[in-house]
Amino acid sequence: MAPTALQAPARAIPATEALLRRYAAYRLRQGRELLELLPREGRREVIRACRSRGEAEGSIEELAAFCAGLLPLPPFHVWLADFQAHQASHLSFEDPAVAGPRSSDGSPVVVGVKELSFRGRPWVAQLLVSPVDGLWQGAIQFHGDGRHDTVRTGCIFRETTVETIRDRFRGFDEITVAAFLRSALP
């Protein structure tokens, strides 16, 4: 079921894929919250209604999407304006998978990996992210084949979403990643 609310009017700020995913996650979260409020018989009625419309087989995500469609949720362009005005509040309610990965001790988390060859040796580049002051920062950590020591760049990314950092990292070719490795080597 693809909500039509994802389509913003022509004057709205352009939607990025990450913002559309965040909005879709918001809608599902609202649908799940409605499901949690319903007594058992109410859930059964939702399942019957979904099946009668041929919209769901009964998984929690399908039921949440169905419930989100019943709620008077704001269309994407209204949600986006509120998200931009009150981002910290929105992020505090988001699922960790949407807001970004977090480690229990606050250390950076690997969210991307690339392999490369540098000076005739294989290397692995790992994209590390961590939350800082309401944003996400990223660095690249390298380790050579068969070596346990690592080298790491300083913070080279600072963005509002992990997806933006990951997309930028994925866009790097081997020459660019090798340049970052060269800059990190002693």
Q: Give the pTM.
A: 0.48
CA distance 15 to 23: 10
Per-residue pLDDT of 46-72, as tens digits, reads: 888 888 877 656 677 788 888 899 999
Residue 101, token pair as written in the block: 């990965």
10 pLDDT higher than 60: no
Q: Is the CB of residue 18 less than 8 Å from the CB of residue 24?
A: no
Residue 107, token pair as written in the block: 């250390």
The pLDDT score that the predictor gives to residue 16 is 75
- Among 14-18, 39-43, 98-102, 146-150, which stretch is predicted with the lowest mean pLDDT? 98-102
Q: Specify the DSSP element, H or E, that contains 176.
A: helix 174-184
